[in-house]
Amino acid sequence: MIYLLEDEEGIRNIVVYALEQAGLEPFGFAMARDFWAAAREKPPDLVLLDIMLPDEDGLTVLKKLRAASATERTPVMMLTAMGAEYDKVRGLDLGADDYLAKPFGMMELIARVKSLLRRADGGASGGTGQAPPLAGDEYQAGLVKLSLKRRKVWADGTPVPLSFKEFETLAYLMKNKGIALSREQIMDHVWGYDYDGESRTVDVHVRSLRAKLGACEDVIETVRGVGYRISSD
């Protein structure tokens, strides 16, 4: 079930319609108090949250969702006005999972909703959000776990969504834990020998990998003059 808290009727109707067409189960609310009444009855699988609401602002709603055990891990996407509000809300970083600036297209909304639901599903598979025990196809470095078969990565138990190349890069490094790999080696392995790009591409991907790994970023060590290495703990 997807809860949409949005006081603008036009937006609410079209989003509910689009989500239904996508085979999802949306419920629209114009007022925070109705949203809370429904959430107490049945916690949502995902929340789409407007900011300016008549009875309670969306940021307060988000804080309360994160503070309640039933919804602390529920994916939340903030729907914000373009520009200053979008920047401010992102900058505050109150724990929303995604942000969409109005006006947005329905295809984009559906794609992001589905991606958030997939991520949440991956997180729930261990029950408590913990990565599953190590199997034959899994690698661990510090608090980072990677499953080749499931194509998933966890940082301290939390699923980390990676792009295809980011995953391949991290997998290659983790398989070679403790060994310094040159940018060229990584390039050849992940991008293929035919790829004509610059090795700086590797740096760009490692930088975004580290950003996504958050507090676990230092599992990827920079080896000066060579490339990168996964620390051997």
Q: How far from 89 is each of 47, 101, 120, 148, CA to CA, in Å?
A: 16, 11, 22, 35
The verdict on 179 binding Ca ion (CB under 5 A) reads no
Q: Please list the alpha-helical segments (H only) found in the chain.
A: 9-21, 32-41, 58-67, 84-92, 106-124, 164-175, 183-186, 200-213
Q: Count the site residues for Ca ion by CB under 5 A.
A: 3
The verdict on 50 binding Ca ion (CB under 5 A) reads yes
- Asked if residue 180 lies in contact with residue 225, where contact means CB atoms within 8 angstroms, the answer is no
Nearest to 142 by CA among 128, 157, 132, 127: 157
Closest distance to Ca ion from the beta carbon of 4 (Å): 11
The verdict on 82 binding Ca ion (CB under 5 A) reads no
The verdict on 52 binding Ca ion (CB under 5 A) reads yes
Identify which of residues 90 and 165 has a Cβ nearer to Ca ion in the complex. Answer: 90
The whole-angstrom separation of Cα 172 and Cα 205 is 13
Q: Which residue has the tokens 């310094």?
A: 180
Q: Which range binds Ca ion by CB under 5 A, 44-52, 100-108, 111-119, 182-190?
A: 44-52
The whole-angstrom separation of Cα 111 and Cα 115 is 6
Identify which of residues 11 and 206 has a Cβ nearer to Ca ion in the complex. Answer: 11
Q: Which range binds Ca ion by CB under 5 A, 45-53, 152-160, 161-169, 193-201?
A: 45-53
- Asked if residue 208 lies in contact with residue 192, where contact means CB atoms within 8 angstroms, the answer is no
Identify which of residues 50 and 138 has a Cβ nearer to Ca ion in the complex. Answer: 50
Closest distance to Ca ion from the beta carbon of 50 (Å): 4
Q: Which range binds Ca ion by CB under 5 A, 47-55, 105-113, 127-135, 196-204?
A: 47-55
Identify which of residues 52 and 179 has a Cβ nearer to Ca ion in the complex. Answer: 52
The verdict on 48 binding Ca ion (CB under 5 A) reads no
Closest distance to Ca ion from the beta carbon of 216 (Å): 37
Those residues with Cβ within 8 angstroms of residue 50's Cβ, 6 or more apart along the chain or in another chain: 5, 6, 7, 8, 11, 58, 79
The whole-angstrom separation of Cα 229 and Cα 223 is 7
Structure tokens at 139: 């690698």
Structure tokens at 108: 């984009």
Closest distance to Ca ion from the beta carbon of 113 (Å): 19
The verdict on 35 binding Ca ion (CB under 5 A) reads no
Shortest Cβ contact with Ca ion: which residue? 52
Which amino acid, one-letter code, is at 106?
A: M
Q: Which range binds Ca ion by CB under 5 A, 2-10, 106-114, 170-178, 180-188?
A: 2-10
Interface residues with Ca ion (CB under 5 A) are 7, 50, 52
